[in-house]
C-alpha cells in the first residue's frame, strides 16, 4: 500500500508585501487547495510597482544559495510554478532550479510575466524576452496573457479583437517552441473576456465569460495559482481554466462591490474557501 503524503509545490516569484500579487497571492491560494506551498523569492518589495513609490530588494544573488539548502534537505516537489523574473540571470537560475528539482511527473507551470495591454513592462527587453522563451519547452503549462503570447511568439499585437484564426496561429507558434498545455488569457471581445485554450493533441477552444468589472492588479497571479494547484491535483486542464476564470471573475465583482482600488488587487480572501 502506497503511503499517502501531502503534495508540495515550489513557487518562484517576487514577494510584494502589499497589493495582492505574486507570492502574497500564490501562497494562500495554493495552500487552500491542499498543497504545501514553498516560496523562493526573486525580489522583496514593500508593495508592487504599480504604486508611485516602493521599496525594492533584488534577490538574484541569493536565489542560488537559497535553493541549494533545499537540495541539502532532499526536498521533492510535485509542482514548480514560476512567475515574475526580472533579469536574464534570474531566468538562468530558474532553468538550473528546474533541472535540479523537476522529475518525470513534476508539473511545471510557467507564467511569463512580461507585459499587458500591448506593452511590455519596463524590465522586459529583447535579451530577457529571448531568455524567457527558453522556459517554454520546460513547461507543462504556459499561461501568458495576450500581450505576453505575442511577445513570446513574435506575433504583432493590435488593439482590435483577435480572431480565432489569429489566436490559433499564435498557439501554433508557441507549440512549435515547445509549449504543451497553453492558455492565452485576457482576450477582450466586445462584452466578453476570453481564454484561448490549446492542448497537446492540437485541440483548441475559446472560452468566454462576461467582463466582470474593473480591471485589478494581480488577477493573472490569482488565475495562474489556481491553474498550478489544479495541475498538481490532477484536474482536467480545460475544467481548471474555467474554474480559475470563474474564481477571478467572482473576486473582481466582489472587489468592486467593496470599492477596493484597482491597484490593491482583488479580495480573493473573501471567497478562498470556495476553492
DSSP secondary structure, 159-200, as one string? SSPPPHHHHHHHHHHHHHTT--EEEEEEEEETTEEEEEEE-T
> What's the CATH fold of domain 8-274?
3.40.1190
Residue 123 has pLDDT above 90, yes or no: no
Rounded CA-CA distance 261/266 in Å is 9
- Secondary structure (3-state) at 35: coil
**pLDDT of 1 over the 70 cut:** no
Q: How many CA atoms lie within 13 A of 66 on its CB side?
A: 18
With cell 538550473, the residue in question is 96
Helices (H), 116-274: 126-133, 146-153, 164-176, 219-233, 237-257
Residue 31 phi/psi, 5-degree rounding, is -65, -40
Tens-place pLDDT, residues 94-112:
999 999 999 999 999 999 9
pLDDT > 90 fraction of the chain, expressed in percent and rounded:
95
Instruction: Name the average pLDDT for the chain.
Output: 96
* pLDDT tens profile 218-233: 999 999 999 999 999 9
What grid cell was written down for 141? 503549462
pLDDT tens track for 3-49: 678 999 999 999 999 999 999 999 999 999 999 999 999 999 999 99
Domain assignments of the chain as residue spans, ordered by start: 8-274
Amino acid at each position: 500500500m502506497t503511503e499517502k503524503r501531502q503534495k508540495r509545490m515550489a513557487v518562484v516569484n517576487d514577494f510584494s508585501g502589499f497589493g495582492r500579487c505574486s507570492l502574497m497571492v500564490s501562497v494562500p491560494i495554493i495552500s487552500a487547495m491542499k498543497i504545501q506551498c514553498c516560496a523562493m523569492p526573486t525580489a522583496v518589495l514593500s508593495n508592487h510597482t504599480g504604486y508611485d513609490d516602493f521599496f525594492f530588494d533584488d534577490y538574484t544573488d541569493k536565489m542560488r544559495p537559497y535553493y541549494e539548502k533545499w537540495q541539502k534537505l532532499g526536498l521533492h516537489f510535485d509542482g514548480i510554478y514560476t512567475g515574475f523574473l526580472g533579469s536574464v540571470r534570474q531566468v538562468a537560475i530558474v532553468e538550473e532550479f528546474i533541472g535540479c528539482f523537476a522529475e518525470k511527473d513534476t508539473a511545471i507551470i510557467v507564467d511569463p510575466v512580461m507585459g499587458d495591454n500591448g506593452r511590455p513592462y519596463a524590465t522586459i527587453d529583447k535579451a530577457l524576452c529571448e531568455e524567457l522563451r527558453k522556459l517554454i519547452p520546460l513547461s507543462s503549462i504556459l499561461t501568458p496573457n495576450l500581450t505576453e503570447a505575442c511577445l513570446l511568439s513574435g506575433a504583432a499585437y493590435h488593439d482590435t479583437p483577435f480572431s480565432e484564426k489569429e489566436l490559433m496561429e499564435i498557439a501554433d507558434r508557441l507549440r512549435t517552441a515547445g509549449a504543451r498545455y497553453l492558455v492565452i488569457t485576457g482576450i477582450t471581445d466586445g462584452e466578453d473576456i476570453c481564454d484561448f485554450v490549446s492542448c497537446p493533441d492540437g485541440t483548441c477552444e475559446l472560452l468566454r465569460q462576461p467582463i466582470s468589472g474593473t480591471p485589478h492588479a494581480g488577477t493573472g497571479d490569482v488565475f495562474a495559482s489556481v491553474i498550478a494547484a489544479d495541475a498538481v491535483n490532477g484536474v482536467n486542464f480545460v475544467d481548471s481554466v474555467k474554474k480559475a476564470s470563474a474564481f477571478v471573475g467572482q473576486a473582481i465583482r466582489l472587489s468592486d462591490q467593496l470599492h477596493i482600488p484597482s491597484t490593491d488587487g482583488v479580495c480573493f480572501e473573501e471567497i478562498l474557501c470556495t476553492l
